[in-house]
């Protein structure tokens, strides 16, 4: 494939996929270690009611109101989960299950009730995203990467996703020490004077930002898969957090690239005419990577007794 074809059609979605995968995998490392992995699942479900409400208020399918709506919905969901957990003294998993399914159901109901036939807004879109359609029409080839006129026509999702990735990396970089200590030994972190509650909330908020930004570009499925699969696979490779983060970035990038390529070119090689869903394929590849590490990873065994 030559540059004239690759740069406008494949490079932007590929980059968006990689950035989204890494932006989700970074906070995912801490969420997996803190046994809060499913918060990403909950957030990506409640994004739907958020965007539907935003659509009903503004009446248009524009990006910013929807992202604000999605972010608002994820904050409401986190608060609701915490409220149910504390007020009802229910275990966190069940509280999460109650909250996000109810909000998702409300979203579907609102969607069916409102007149959205004129716009492209449906459940499938929220789930799969539309990675393949994020093309860069102004590009003519590799030289366009240095052409300011062509660069102005980059898909806005690419710019948003890279900004999100920078923000997420900055958060992890700046709060590295507190995050690491409070993840492994919360009591010790508190004796050092760290506000662990606040830090936990900030971590969830960063995860929500990554989820909302990634959802807009690539759909919910990648978000859940990237929150959990690369960090979980990395966890089976090493005992050091620094190395785990590096592995998770490698795995996230691998899943995004291989998944995108397999979705785009795999069916053609097998003789089918149409491409398959890139989002689904990226999730599948990340699962395959996890399966490989679960069977061959050097640190896959648990030390000590398994949790009953």
Partner 1 sequence: MLWEALFLQLGYNATLVTLGACFLGVAAGVTGTFLFLRKRALVSDAISHATLPGVALAFIVMVTFGGDGRHLIGLLLGSAASAGIGLLCVSWLTRYTRLAEDAAIGAVLSVFFGFGIVLLTIIQSMSAGRQAGLEGFLLGSTAGMLWSDAIVILIGGLATLALVLAFRRPMSLVAFDPEFAAANGMNVARIDLLIMGLAMAVTVVGLKIVGLILIVAMLIIPPVTARFWTDRTDHVSLISGIVGGVSGYVGAGLSASAPNVPTGPIIVLVSFALFCVALFFAPNRGVLAAVLRHFRFQHRVHMRQGLLALAQGQPIYEKLTLRLLQRAGLARPDGVATEAGRARAAKALRDEKRWEVVRADQAFEGAAALYDGLREIETVLTQDQITEIDHRIGGPAGVPT
Rounded to a whole number of angstroms, the minimum distance from the CB of residue 210 to partner 1 is 15
Distance between CA atoms of 131 and 301, rounded to whole angstroms?
36
Per CB under 8 A, the list member of 243, 272, 292, 296 interacting with partner 1 is: 272
Distance between CA atoms of 238 and 299, rounded to whole angstroms?
6
φ, ψ of residue 62 to 5 degrees: the values are -105, 160
Rounded to a whole number of angstroms, the minimum distance from the CB of residue 81 to partner 1 is 12
Per CB under 8 A, the list member of 40, 69, 155, 264 interacting with partner 1 is: 40
Return the closest-CA partner of residue 23 out of 177, 180, 162: 162
Residues 103 and 45 sit within 8 Å (Cβ to Cβ) = yes
**Comparison of 193 and 302: residue with beta carbon closer to partner 1:** 302
| CA-only gyration radius of the chain, Å | 20
Interface stretch with partner 1, choices 54-62, 185-193, 196-204, 222-230 (CB under 8 A)? 222-230
Distance between CA atoms of 189 and 152, rounded to whole angstroms?
46
Query: Is 173 near partner 1 (CB under 8 A)?
Result: no
Rounded to a whole number of angstroms, the minimum distance from the CB of residue 293 to partner 1 is 9
Per-position x/- string for 125-154, each x denoting binding to partner 1 as judged by CB under 8 A, each - no binding: --xx--------------------------
Query: Is 200 near partner 1 (CB under 8 A)?
Result: no
Rounded to a whole number of angstroms, the minimum distance from the CB of residue 45 to partner 1 is 8
Return the closest-CA partner of residue 86 out of 95, 74, 77: 95
Count of residues touching partner 1 (by CB under 8 A): 71
The helix/strand/coil state of 138 is coil
Per-position x/- string for 250-269, each x denoting binding to partner 1 as judged by CB under 8 A, each - no binding: -------------x---x--
Interface stretch with partner 1, choices 105-113, 137-145, 175-183, 193-201 (CB under 8 A)? 105-113
Tokens representing residue 269 in the block: 């090689």
Per CB under 8 A, the list member of 131, 236, 237, 252 interacting with partner 1 is: 236
Cα 260-264-269 angle, rounded to 5 deg: 125
For 104, other C-beta atoms within 10 Å of its C-beta total 20
């Amino acid at each position: 494939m030559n540059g004239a074809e690759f740069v406008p059609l494949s490079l932007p979605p590929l980059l968006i996929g990689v950035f989204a995968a890494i932006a989700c995998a970074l906070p995912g490392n801490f969420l997996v270690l803190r046994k809060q992995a499913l918060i990403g699942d909950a957030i990506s479900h409640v994004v739907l009611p958020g965007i539907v409400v935003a659509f009903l208020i503004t009446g248009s399918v524009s990006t910013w109101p929807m992202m604000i709506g999605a972010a608002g919905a994820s904050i409401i969901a986190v608060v609701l989960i915490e409220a149910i957990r504390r007020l009802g003294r229910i275990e966190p998993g069940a509280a999460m299950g109650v909250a996000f399914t109810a909000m998702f159901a409300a979203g579907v109901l609102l969607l069916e009730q409102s007149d959205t036939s004129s716009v492209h807004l449906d459940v499938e879109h929220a789930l799969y995203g539309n990675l393949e359609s994020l093309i860069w029409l102004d590009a003519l080839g590799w030289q366009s990467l240095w052409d300011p006129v062509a660069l102005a026509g980059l898909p806005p999702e690419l710019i948003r996703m890279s900004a999100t990735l920078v923000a997420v990396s900055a958060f992890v970089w700046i709060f590295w020490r507190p995050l690491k200590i409070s993840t492994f030994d919360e009591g010790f972190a508190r004796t050092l004077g760290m506000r662990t509650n606040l830090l936990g909330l900030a971590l969830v908020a960063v995860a929500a930002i990554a989820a909302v930004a990634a959802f807009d570009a690539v759909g919910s499925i990648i978000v859940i898969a990237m929150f959990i699969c690369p960090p979980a696979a990395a966890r089976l490779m090493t005992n050091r957090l620094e190395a785990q983060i590096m592995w998770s970035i490698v795995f996230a990038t691998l899943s995004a690239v291989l998944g995108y390529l397999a979705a785009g070119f795999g069916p053609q090689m097998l003789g089918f005419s149409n491409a398959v869903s890139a989002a689904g394929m990226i999730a599948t590849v990340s699962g395959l990577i996890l399966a490989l590490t679960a069977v061959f990873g050097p640190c896959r065994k648990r030390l000590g007794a398994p949790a009953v």
